[in-house]
Structure 1
């Protein structure tokens, strides 16, 4: 039986949107982009008060559903006509404690990782460009939640989830995606390698304070293949040191092509 629902779990700045854009090119795939985002923020409003007050005015229109059961029903239920599977991009910290996670056994899960030196630095850059305060922002980096969920899904499904490192993918996107699709139980498409700039259903936060988060990948036409030099400011070093052990543990289980 062909895979019906795929859930990719990630941290911010792991290239999750680029991978989602690749799957978006498959004709019979429906994309659910961070479907737990709105639910998470509005159930943790006290913790994220400063973040929420700065959301764009049309935020409620883009994420109208905050009912957990309703969202999960969509993520595990029937598909729209013409679609054979869903690809769900999740940030692990959106799956907040205290809510049932048994539905995870109904989807095919995999985890996306990227070197914290890159994710933390990239996150700091876009937050800075958006005018955010770093001390308030760094709690959204999500590495601890990512690792904890990796272990929880292993307990729920009784098998170790698939892990991919976006750095590996960039070395040979076509070959890597072919292998990933095989592992996920779906057919690879050449369309996944290149796409049209700006033509996407993925929310881009255009003309808002969040525009920096997806600006580059929305304007892209494929995976970036040029390594970028990383200059790490001193204020990021404590976060990188804290998150590196989580990355290194998951890196041991990554898919090797």
Structure 2
């Protein structure tokens, strides 16, 4: 894997929604050597799926982003304003894009137990499908990585929240970049890099000043979402053994 192009390290986070992907973006934003980007492929995803019919603020998102996926990837691969570039992406935003660019970036897969993730997502998108939340897409991505002999870095949100310092150190080591203590805390509030959709999704992270302490969900899992949970579990269980931390 040639993850350094022109001495620039490009880190592509491939996450599902309602994970701690925004907190991880905020963590990397504390580094002076790093520029972060919030879901650059969101417009491409909305333009080419029915999700634009039920995602909050879809029109504003489409208007605020380049909707051409190939253009977006080209910009990602030619961005060079800082030595480290961190692209927070949702895995399901890839759709059918050519994935060859992944051979030249550091690929980080971020997952979360679907029992914790699905009810959180359903509070905004009331009847989610597996296409909305990326678990099957993570399996497809892992298939591609195995075929192309690409070694991704896998993070599980629970492990990260239980020990942010240790997990971030391991992440930086595998990405061949230096770890900084500054990655563990940030100022409360919005960031200039936030996507225009932040008002619908980022309330908790805007209140945070670091990675929140892990708290298991205590409320009963909604009955109507249990078939989706069963559909997602095999994909989550496939990734979990690879998770660092």
Q: CA deviation at 1:228?
A: 3.9
Q: Assess, with a 3 A threshold, how the Cα gap between structure 1 residues 154 and 169 changes in structure 2: closer, same or farther.
A: same
Q: Are residues 1:230 and 2:231 paired?
A: no
Structure 2 Cα separation of the partners of residues 215 and 14 of structure 1: 13
Q: CA deviation at 1:236?
A: 1.4
Q: CA deviation at 1:153?
A: 2.5
Q: Are residues 1:213 and 2:201 paired?
A: yes
Q: Are residues 1:193 and 2:189 paired?
A: no
Which of 140, 150, 153 matches 1:159? 150
Q: CA offsets per residue over residues 86-134 of structure 1, 9 Å max, x none?
A: 001111110012x311111111101111111011121112x1xxxx4x2
- The answer to whether the 8 A contact 2:111-2:155 is kept is yes
Q: What SS does the aligned partner of 1:48 have?
A: helix
Q: CA deviation at 1:17?
A: 0.8
Q: Are residues 1:252 and 2:244 paired?
A: no
Tell me which residue corresponds to 1:36: 41
Which of 92, 98, 101 matches 2:99? 101
Q: Assess, with a 3 A threshold, how the Cα gap between structure 1 residues 141 and 69 changes in structure 2: closer, same or farther.
A: closer
Q: Assess, with a 3 A threshold, how the Cα gap between structure 1 residues 31 and 138 changes in structure 2: closer, same or farther.
A: same
- The answer to whether the 8 A contact 1:204-1:218 is kept is no
Q: Assess, with a 3 A threshold, how the Cα gap between structure 1 residues 141 and 188 changes in structure 2: closer, same or farther.
A: same
Q: What SS does the aligned partner of 2:118 have?
A: helix
Gaps of 5+ in 1: none
TM-score with structure 1 setting the length: 0.85
Tell me which residue corresponds to 1:181: 172
Q: Are residues 1:73 and 2:74 paired?
A: yes
Q: CA deviation at 1:202?
A: 3.5
Structure 2 Cα separation of the partners of residues 248 and 169 of structure 1: 17
- The answer to whether the 8 A contact 1:10-1:113 is kept is yes
Q: CA offsets per residue over residues 112-163 of structure 1, 9 Å max, x none?
A: 11111011121112x1xxxx4x23666411211121112212323x133221
Q: CA deviation at 1:244?
A: 0.5
Q: Assess, with a 3 A threshold, how the Cα gap between structure 1 residues 78 and 59 changes in structure 2: closer, same or farther.
A: closer
Q: What SS does the aligned partner of 1:135 have?
A: coil
- The answer to whether the 8 A contact 2:129-2:228 is kept is no
TM-score with structure 2 setting the length: 0.89
Structure 2 Cα separation of the partners of residues 234 and 141 of structure 1: 18
Q: What SS does the aligned partner of 2:243 have?
A: coil
| Pairwise CA RMSD | 2.1
